[in-house]
Structure 1
Amino acid sequence: MEIDKHEFLHYMRRIMERLDILSELISDKSKGANVFEGDELLDNQDLMIMLKISSRSLQRYRTSGKLRYYVISGKIYYKLSDVHEFIRDCLKNRDVSTGDK
């Protein structure tokens, strides 16, 4: 079986269009899966990378009540707004302890 260049390019364009559609669908699904009450959810790995901390530090923040978390199907998640609040509180406490404003 032999096809010419024009026909080959036509098929490749169709394949690429379908791959783009699938990519959009996957992207939309993954965005919707990590949202709770209109807020983005982060898991432990996301948060450790974002804050550049260890899993032990993250556990310490949870158990001390400094960082709110949610357990969904046995997995721990954090709302992005809660993480922002945690960071603000940490910065505020640091400024108070150092005397900075």
Structure 2
Amino acid sequence: MNIDRTEFHAWMERVMQRFDLLAEKIHKVEQRHNSIDGEELLDNQDVLQMLKISSRSLQRYRSDGKLPYYTISGKLYYKLSDVHQFIRESFHRPEPQRKATG
């Protein structure tokens, strides 16, 4: 089979348009599955990396009610805003040291 250059470019253009359409559809599906009420959802791995903690620590934060989570199709997710709030609440300013009297 032998095609000329113009026909080849037209064919490649159609292929690339199909790829672009597929990429848009994939992006829409990902957004739908990774957000709730328009807010980004993070999975366990995302939160573990973000907070630099162990999976046991994350489980303890869930159990203690310190970090809200959602179960979707058997998988755990966290709202990005909840994780940010958890970080703010977990941040403790060091207390000023008192001078020893003696």
Shared fold (TM-score greater than 0.5)?
Answer: yes
Instruction: Give the aligned partner of residue 5 of structure 2.
Output: 5
**Equivalent position of 1:99 in the other structure:** 95
User: Quick one: distance in 1 between partners of 2:38 and 2:15?
Assistant: 35
Distance in 1 (CA, whole Å) between partners of 2:16 and 2:52 is 38
Gaps of 5+ in 2: 97-102
Equivalent AA in structure 1 for residue 20 of structure 2: D
CA RMSD in angstroms comes to 1.5
Partner residue in 2 for 1:76: 76
Q: Give the whole-Å Cα distance in 2 for the aligned partners of 1:81 and 1:8.
A: 49
Alignment of 1:14-53 (within 5 A): 14-53=14-53
- Structure 1, unmatched stretches of 5+, are none
**Letter aligned with residue 33 of structure 1:** H
- The 3-state SS of whatever aligns with 1:47 is helix
* Alpha-carbon separation, structure 2, partners of 1:46 and 1:36: 16
Moved over 2 A (4+): none
Given the alignment of the two structures, is residue 90 of structure 1 paired with residue 90 of structure 2, yes or no? yes
**What CA distance in whole angstroms lies between the structure 2 residues aligned with 1:59 and 1:77?**
12
Greater helix content? 1
Shift of residue 99 of structure 1?
Answer: 2.1
Q: Give, in whole Å, the separation in 1 of the partners of 2:23 and 2:87.
A: 34
Deviation at 1:84, TM superposition (A): 1.0
**Other-structure match for 1:57:** 57
* Residues 28-84 of structure 1, C-alpha deviations (whole Å, 9 max, x = no match): 111011222332211101111222222112112111221111222222111111111
In structure 2, distance between residues paired with 1:14 and 1:38? 33
Amino acid at match of 2:95: G
